[in-house]
Amino acid sequence: MTETEPAAADAPAELRILLVEDNEHDRIAFTRALRACPQPHTIEACVRADEALARLAETPQAFDIVVVDYNLPGDNGLTLCRILLEGEMPTPIVLLTGSGSEQIAVEALKLGISDYIIKDPDEGYLRLLPTVLPHIVRCHCAKQAGRRADNALRDAAERLAQIVNGLSVAAFVIDRDHIVTHWNRACEAMTGTSASEVVGTRQQWRAFYVSERPVMADLILDNAIEADVDRFYHGKFRPSALIGGAYEAEDFFGTFGERGRWLFFTAAPIRDAQGRVVGAIETLQDVTERRVAEAALKESETRFRELSITDGLTGLYNSRHFFERIEAETSRATRHQEPLCLLMMDVDNFKRFNDTYGHLEGDRALATLATAIRSVLRTSDSGFRYGGEEFVVMLPNTRILAAATAAERLRKRFATAPIRIASGVTLHSSVSIGVAQFEPGENAASFIGRADKACYQAKHAGKNCVATYTASVG
């Protein structure tokens, strides 16, 4: 297990998949694609939504993931997802949608599904399944582990009232003179410091720090204000929402155990019948596992985000991420009055290439173009697979002449790049590129449309060339 993988303890040894898909061809393709999955798995298929509902009602925990196609007889896949989610089904759901169904996918995400996968015409999505489905399940397990850890903390907080009597949580008490009066067995086990070493002394700090300094209970006893607490626990503490004059914090203690431990600790005043502070109690809880789970979950979510915005074939960003970025970049360009250009490109004669050499070789051509795109990108630039054989490059802070120069460099690089197909033959292809510069006041759709028209102009001019947008195009 790598550091970026979620903890595997809760992940299933065998991936149990329920596929809800009425198209026999797609069911067969799905099953064949999962043969590349390194994890043992089983697939059970339903062709109708009502069949899936009946199967899940029978044994809700029988599957680790449910994959639903949008186009189903009777109720569509989105309706099925809504019913399952309203029933609080604990299993992650993935929706399969056709190309151009991003709006449906967005609606599904709002409902609460785990993810969606677009069934592109070239069936490139099938290559994602062996990796993405196990990843979604692992992320789901990691999130559940995080929830269990958080629930454990809440349960511990509810038991706070029982600490003094039960002493089941690590705790120590100091009196008004800062002398330790009690150091329970749980505190001994946690800190490695015995009660005999500290009871009757003012050396409570020894268990936590390498040099003398006040612990939180000392600060509470001195009626510390937030500024005083902040000196020692800057950015790590907050006033208690439950007890007046109390504070809670979370910090790492490197001297605990072999690698150190994360502790959540609280300190509250002890008052006599007249309300005078006569001491303070500090309690400590080991939250290392939760911290580790949170770190693993954060890393998993980052990896999942990267997968969700990346085209599996080319490694460039996908169209969904393009539409997110174009809105942000056009807003930024308007706000800062900076130039912004788009390169819209289309592989020439791609259908003929596919028909002649096959889709696998067509994929090699697209991957070769993606490599050429990456080779000319600056750090601030972004490349996207727009759809099929169409690609987009976004060039912030770039005017149209510089953009056209970059487009020409890209065109030449792809035209000379070798495409080595399985037969050993080396082929070449070409690309037509349209260039447009953002005009202040226009919307993203208009900007994209002008770049697309420029690409059409390049096609009309004989292909394998670069054209900049002119009003006469189209």
Catalytic residue numbers read: 389
Rounded to whole angstroms, the Cα distance separating 175 from 180 reads 7
C-beta contacts of 21-24 below 8 A and 24+ residues apart: 21/45, 21/46, 21/47, 21/67, 21/69, 21/72, 21/96, 22/47, 22/48, 22/69, 22/71, 22/72, 22/73, 23/69, 23/71
In contact, 345 and 391? CB cutoff 8 Å = yes
Rounded to whole angstroms, the Cα distance separating 265 from 160 reads 12
Instruction: Report residue 117 as tokens.
Output: 């996968």
Give the residue among 6, 19, 79, 23 at the shortest CA–CA distance from 55: 19
Angle between helices 77-86 and 102-111 (to 10 degrees): 10
46, 68, 86, 99, 389 from 82: Cα distances, Å: 17, 11, 6, 21, 34
Rounded to whole angstroms, the Cα distance separating 365 from 352 reads 12
The amino acid occupying position 183 is: W
Rounded to whole angstroms, the Cα distance separating 47 from 30 reads 13
Element (H, E) at 150: helix 125-158
Give the residue among 282, 280, 284 at the shortest CA–CA distance from 174: 280
Residue spans of alpha helices (H) in 340-419: 350-357, 359-376, 400-416
Contacts of 104 (CB under 8 A, 6+ apart): 70, 78, 95, 97
The CA R_g of the chain, rounded to the nearest whole Å, is: 30
Contacts of 474 (CB under 8 A, 6+ apart): 453, 456
Rounded to whole angstroms, the Cα distance separating 35 from 130 reads 8
Element (H, E) at 326: helix 319-336
Residues in the chain: 474
